[in-house]
Every structure is written in C-alpha cells, then in structure tokens.
Amino acid sequence: MEFAGKVAFVTGAGSGIGKATALRFALGGAKVAVLSRTADEITETENEIKSAGGAAIAITADISHEANMRDAVARIIKTYGRLDIVVANAGVNGMWAPIDELKPKEWDQTMTVNLSGTYLTLHFAVPHLRKAGGSIIIVSSINGNRTFTTAGASAYSATKAAQVAMTQQLALELGKDRIRVNAVCPGAIDTEIDDNTDKRNVETAAIAVKWPDGDIPLTGGKPGSSEAVADVIAFLASDAARHVTGVPVYIDGGQSLLR
C-alpha cells in the first residue's frame, strides 16, 4: 500500500496505459481520479477500481479544453481535498502523412491535444501539488526522442520530444516545491492506439528497414504490456524514486536501440 493516503490523477485512463496506471495506483492504496473524453470507458475504469475495493471518481473531459481541465481539477480537490500524483497520459497519434501533405489543421490538432493538453493538465494541478510536494509523470514516447523512423509522424514526434523538454524544464522549476517531474517513453505497447491513428501516403515517407528477428530484442518482437508501463510509472510516483527527477525512462524492451 505504498500510495495509502495519496490522491492520484490520471488522464487518458479509459484504456491502455492510462487505465493500467489507474488500476495500479488503486492497488497501491491511492484514491484515483480518472479522466477521459469517452464517458463509457472512464466509467468502466471507475467501476473496476471500486469493485476491487478502491476509491475513484470518473471525469469526462477534453484535456485540450481550458474550462474542462479547470473544472476537473476543482472536482478532484472538492472530492478528496488534495492532490499528490499527476500522470499526464492522454494524447493522440493524430494524422501521419508526409510533411508536404500534412494539413495545417491536422498539425494543429496533434499539437493542441498532446502539448496544450499536457500544459493545461499541469497548469491547473501544480498549485495543489505545491502544498505538500508530489510527483508528475508525463507519458511521452520513443518517437521524437530516440527513434525517428515512424513514417509521416512529424507532428506526433515533435510533441513527444517537446514533452521530454517540458519534463526537464519543470523538474528544475518545481524542484524547490518538492515536486518531482519525470517522463516515460514507451515503445510498442499492446494498446488500441494504433486503431485510432490516421495515415495518408506514409509509404512515400518510409525508410526501408527490416529486422528479421523482430525489432524488440527483449521479447522477440512482441510488444510490451500496458501493465509494464504502469509499474514504472508507479515506481516514479513512489517514495522509492524520491531522488529521481528530470529523467526520461525508456520502456521499449530495447526497441529504440536498434534504430
């Protein structure tokens, strides 16, 4: 029960990494506020936590909407009276296309959700974290940090690189308030995000690279699990990582080292 007495806020908690993280915090004794823009998914996450004996509130909101995020954090504080852990996980892959075919509105959409959404999450949460210190974990990616071979993913990669820069900038800015800020950079993880990726003519931007034995050395090419990412996030949020801040942690089974 390493999170007993703590309140955790996880965005994008309706599925995948966010859901696994919320369940992991609840297992550790935290009260969890889970957020998604999809009402039925986030209600299911809330119900799973409660069915297992945990405490949770479900919030339906768009992370890129200022009023939504202000209200979301206000509800957390009204319900639980404090905030200790924030996991900025929600995001989109957006449109993947050659740079000359990627439309300005498609670029802006990815930037708005992934970067403005991360900013708004932290903008409203940090004043409450300042009261007793805490931990922020931003979910970035190997894309834009160690790997650059995902065809057409210029907008997505740019946002993921920027999230690591935010992590390191804020680790210094918030250190005096005893707030630790770290990032996780997953590689291929068995989630549904690829089903929500829009692609257009990516083959014209692709680099022909083949890995006959699979591109994830640790697992013979098989993707990692959301739970594997959740466990690392839990470590970074825990007192076991009390002297760790400003660090991007790669969770990819060695995938990015091949590229």
Q: Which residues are catalytic?
A: 156
Distances (CA, A) of 146 to 84, 89, 142: 30, 19, 5
Closest CA to 167 of 131, 143, 188, 139: 139
Positive or negative torsion for Cα 204, 207, 209, 214:
negative
- Using DSSP bridges, classify how beta strands 95-96 and 85-88 pair: parallel, antiparallel or unpaired: unpaired
What is the SS3 assignment for 191? coil
Cβ pair 25, 85 in contact under 8 A = yes
**Rounded Cα–Cα distance for residues 19 and 34 (Å):** 8
